[in-house]
Copies of this chain bind each other. A is one copy, B any other.
Amino acid sequence: MASLESRKIGILGGGQLGRMAQEAASRLNISLTILDQPVDAPAKQINAIQPHIQGAFTDADKIRELANSVDVITVEIEHVDTAVLFELEKQGKEIHPTPGTIHLIQDKYEQKVHLAKHGIPMADALDCPDDASIQDAGQRFGFPFMLKSKTGAYDGRGNYVVRSSKDVADARSHLAPGAPLYAEKWAKFDRELAVMVVRSVTGEVQSYPVVETVHKNSICHLVFAPAQVGRGLTGTKDATFAHSIAERARKVAEDAVASLAGAGVFGVEMFLMDNGEILLNEIAPRPHNSGHYTIEACHTSQYENHLRAILGLPLGSTAMKVPAAGMLNILGNGDRTYLACEMAYSIAGATTHLYGKKECKQGRKMGHITVVGDSMQQVHSRLLPMVCALDPADQSPWNLDPLVSIVMGSDSDLKVMEAAAQVLTKIGVPFELSLVSAHRTPERMYHFGRMAHKRGVKVIIAGAGGAAHLPGMVAALTPLPVIGVPVRGSVLDGVDSLHSIVQMPRGVPVATVAINNSTNAALLAVRILGSSDPAYLEKMTVFMEEQEKEVLAKIDNLDEVGWANYEVKKH
Complex partner residue of A345 from B1, B44, B316, B354, CB under 8 angstroms: B316
Complex partner residue of A354 from B27, B321, B523, CB under 8 angstroms: B27
Q: Is A260 an interface residue (CB 8 A)?
A: no
Contacts of A29 in B (CB 8 A): 354, 356
Contacts of A527 in B (CB 8 A): 479-482, 509
Q: Is A399 an interface residue (CB 8 A)?
A: no
A511 in contact with B483 (CB, 8 Å): yes
The binding surface of chain A is classed by DSSP as: loop
- Chain A: how many interface residues by the 8 Å CB criterion? 91
| Distance of A351 Cα from B298 Cα, bound (Å) | 11
Q: Is A159 an interface residue (CB 8 A)?
A: no
| Distance of A346 Cα from B514 Cα, bound (Å) | 48
Complex partner residue of A507 from B48, B541, B547, CB under 8 angstroms: B547
Q: Is A410 an interface residue (CB 8 A)?
A: no
Contacts of A453 in B (CB 8 A): 537
Q: Is A528 an interface residue (CB 8 A)?
A: yes
A571 and chain B: residue at smallest CB distance: B506
B48 in contact with A479 (CB, 8 Å): no
Q: Is A289 an interface residue (CB 8 A)?
A: no
A458 in contact with B532 (CB, 8 Å): yes
Contacts of A506 in B (CB 8 A): 517, 519-520, 571
A337 and chain B: residue at smallest CB distance: B1
Q: Is A521 an interface residue (CB 8 A)?
A: yes
Q: Is A341 an interface residue (CB 8 A)?
A: yes
For this chain, the copies found in one complex come to 2
A49 in contact with B537 (CB, 8 Å): no
Q: Is A46 an interface residue (CB 8 A)?
A: yes
| Distance of A459 Cα from B481 Cα, bound (Å) | 12
Of A105-113, A235-243, A427-435, A497-505, which binds chain B? A497-505
A540 and chain B: residue at smallest CB distance: B479
| Distance of A16 Cα from B245 Cα, bound (Å) | 44
In whole Å, how far is A45's beta carbon from the nearest beta carbon of chain B?
Answer: 5
Contacts of A483 in B (CB 8 A): 511
Contacts of A349 in B (CB 8 A): 299, 317, 321
Contacts of A338 in B (CB 8 A): 2-4
In whole Å, how far is A453's beta carbon from the nearest beta carbon of chain B?
Answer: 6
A511 and chain B: residue at smallest CB distance: B511
B523 in contact with A308 (CB, 8 Å): no
| Distance of A323 Cα from B503 Cα, bound (Å) | 34
Q: A46-B26, A321-B349, A507-B547 are in contact. Are A458 and B531 (CB under 8 A)?
A: yes
In whole Å, how far is A492's beta carbon from the nearest beta carbon of chain B?
Answer: 14
Q: Is A116 an interface residue (CB 8 A)?
A: no
Q: A46-B26, A479-B530, A479-B541 are in contact. Are A348 and B372 (CB under 8 A)?
A: no
Docked complex: A1-18 residues within 8 A CB-CB of B: 1-4
In whole Å, how far is A20's beta carbon from the nearest beta carbon of chain B?
Answer: 10
Q: Is A515 an interface residue (CB 8 A)?
A: yes
| Distance of A482 Cα from B4 Cα, bound (Å) | 49
Q: Is A104 an interface residue (CB 8 A)?
A: no
Q: Is A169 an interface residue (CB 8 A)?
A: no
Q: Is A179 an interface residue (CB 8 A)?
A: no
A503 in contact with B512 (CB, 8 Å): no
In whole Å, how far is A403's beta carbon from the nearest beta carbon of chain B?
Answer: 9
B480 in contact with A503 (CB, 8 Å): no
Q: Is A352 an interface residue (CB 8 A)?
A: yes
A520 in contact with B509 (CB, 8 Å): yes
Docked complex: A314-362 residues within 8 A CB-CB of B: 314, 316-317, 319, 321-323, 332, 334-335, 337-338, 341-342, 345-346, 348-354, 356, 359-360
| Distance of A4 Cα from B23 Cα, bound (Å) | 20
| Distance of A507 Cα from B481 Cα, bound (Å) | 20
Contacts of A345 in B (CB 8 A): 308, 313-314, 316
Q: A345-B316, A523-B507 are in contact. Are A28 and B513 (CB under 8 A)?
A: no
- Residue positions of A touching B, CB distance < 8 A: 1-4, 23, 26-29, 40, 44-49, 296, 299-300, 308, 313-314, 316-317, 319, 321-323, 332, 334-335, 337-338, 341-342, 345-346, 348-354, 356, 359-360, 372, 453, 458-459, 479-483, 498, 502-515, 517, 519-521, 523-524, 527-534, 537, 540-541, 544, 547, 571
Q: List 26 A-B contacts (CB under 8 A).
A: A1-B337, A3-B338, A4-B338, A28-B352, A45-B47, A46-B48, A296-B321, A299-B349, A299-B372, A308-B345, A317-B348, A317-B349, A322-B322, A481-B524, A502-B513, A503-B514, A506-B520, A507-B519, A508-B520, A508-B523, A509-B517, A509-B527, A511-B513, A512-B512, A528-B528, A532-B533
